[in-house]
Structure 1
């Protein structure tokens, strides 16, 4: 698990939350704040899943090459909110792997609904639920398998009224499984059971432990 970047997303706290949950599932979890871990091809190749929570940072060409090679070769990748969906704005190769990039959150913090839209191991048993947080507007890859969405009312930006936006998705990048969830602006957001489960199950799915 790799954390860093903008500290108002509470990357260390949220990473520690999911590190504990993964340990409860029997995983041997390593946590680091150093992107140079992506330079160690042998280490990455031994991982079931790479979990990243790094917002608005930069990554070197060598670091991103190491990450993408690992995922393409079969290592899973998963993350949430800006920690995976707004990580390296000047690195489109990374965005191509994740399947999307944050561009706006009109209205900032308010209550909205997340709709569960797919029958999938990640969503099974979950129902539509309310979030009081940022409603992410993303540019997304049409090849994603979308698991949950949210609909913009247009209250804050009228021209996007009725826009249905993916909230959680899975995809493949080479041989690797990729899972992303747009929820989780701060650690407290994961007190919402459904938000926490979407992320945790995404980590498990990306690791090949959930089908």
Structure 2
């Protein structure tokens, strides 16, 4: 049986350390037996047959994309390729592309207070992605997102209003999964910089989520 094949495309804003994070994800997937292509930029989306990939991981923040490339990505996921990623690398990749946001299930809009302490609450402890992981404290950007109400939420965070009084008490998804056509889509808002992979919960949630998203059959 051949190994699963993954594509990581990386770039965009340097503050999210896309190259370093892409190497960590590459090593993570290789450990799981994947054959991994790690490519800078979005040209790969139109230059290659994306149907060959079982999992596609975007690691680009605040970039633009050609229509042909975006259409190819959306079509590949709709046809069954998995899509998975984290933080701004997936949640703020193509800010001006509603078709991409419809596919991913959400879009970053703010992180009030920037790097702060907050709580991640596990809402689906029965889900395989979350099994054995308890709610935990986290120190990073607390993402405020516009989200699709159809997503299956696995973890949330609650804003306390300290940095934006009008959102006090707002419960926001942190981790979710859903389907797009035949494809499985996974997202975690955790992981601002590469050092956060040293946090066991962040790393394990992402690892399990990417495996879940991978094309079946």
Which TM-score applies when normalising by structure 2?
A: 0.94
Partner of 2:53: 47
* Distance in 1, Cα, partners of 2:44 & 2:129: 28
Secondary structure of the 2:93 match is coil
Residue 181, structure 1, aligned to residue 200, structure 2: no
Partner of 2:107: 101
Q: Does the 8 Å contact 1:41/1:66 carry over to 2? A: no
Secondary structure of the 2:43 match is helix
Residue 72, structure 1, aligned to residue 78, structure 2: yes
Which aligned runs of 4 or more in structure 1 are off by greater than 6 angstroms? none
- Alpha-carbon shift at residue 34 of structure 1 (Å): 2.6
Residue 110, structure 1, aligned to residue 116, structure 2: yes
* Distance in 2, Cα, partners of 1:120 & 1:19: 25
Partner of 1:83: 89
The residue correspondences of 1:53-202 to structure 2 (distance < 5 A) are 53-118=59-124, 119-202=126-209
Which TM-score applies when normalising by structure 1?
A: 0.96
Match of 1:8 among 7, 11, 15: 15
- Alpha-carbon shift at residue 92 of structure 1 (Å): 0.6
Unpaired segments of 5 or more residues in structure 2? 1-7
* Distance in 2, Cα, partners of 1:172 & 1:40: 25
* Distance in 2, Cα, partners of 1:13 & 1:60: 25
* Distance in 1, Cα, partners of 2:43 & 2:54: 18
- Alpha-carbon shift at residue 208 of structure 1 (Å): 4.2
Residue 86 to residue 5, structure 1, CA distance change in 2 (3 Å): same
C-alpha RMSD of the superposition = 1.0
* Distance in 1, Cα, partners of 2:105 & 2:201: 22
